[in-house]
Amino acid sequence: MRRDIFQAIADPTRRAIIALIAVQAMTPNAIAEHFETTRQAVSKHLRVLTECDLVKQEPRGREIYYLLEIDKMKEIDKWLEQFRKIWETRYGQLDQLLITLKKKK
């Protein structure tokens, strides 16, 4: 089963989980309490996130904390790079004015 980051962030629940643990490492149960879903469902999402190295496990006693591998998020940023060049340099003449105005704000 091929997993990559883009596939991982496609799911809104997973994006929410990512945002959650970005602030603070949490256990599956703690995460589940933030949503209207079961622990097992969360557990599955965490598995997907773990498989593509977006998330790391940290066992503490019988609890398992999950924390975000923030570096992995940079890969998305890296992919965006090619388009950032476009939206920064190649502006259509028609939009030029609009964008310029927005920037000045």
Partner DNA sequence: ACTTTGCGAAACCATTTAGTTGCGCTTATA
Partner DNA sequence: TATAAGCGCAACTAAATGGTTTCGCAAAGT
Distance CA 105, CA 100 (A): 9
47: tokens are: 């598995």
Site string for DNA, 66-85 (x = CB under 7 A): --------------------
Site string for its own copies, 20-39 (x = CB under 8 A): --x-xx--------------
99: tokens are: 């964008």
| Residue 71 binding partner per list its own copies, DNA, none, with a CB distance cut-off of 5 to 8 Å that depends on partner kind | its own copies
Burial of 68 (0-12, 13-18, 19+ CB in 10 A): buried
Asked if 7 touches DNA (CB under 7 A), the answer is: yes
Q: Could you tell me which stretch among 59-67, 75-83, 91-99 binds DNA (CB under 7 A)? A: 59-67
Give the distance from CA 65 to its chain's centroid. 17
How far is the CA of 54 from the CAs of 43, 99, 102, in angstroms? 14, 34, 34
Q: Which of 45, 49, 52, 68 binds DNA (CB under 7 A)?
A: 45
| Residue 47 binding partner per list its own copies, DNA, none, with a CB distance cut-off of 5 to 8 Å that depends on partner kind | DNA
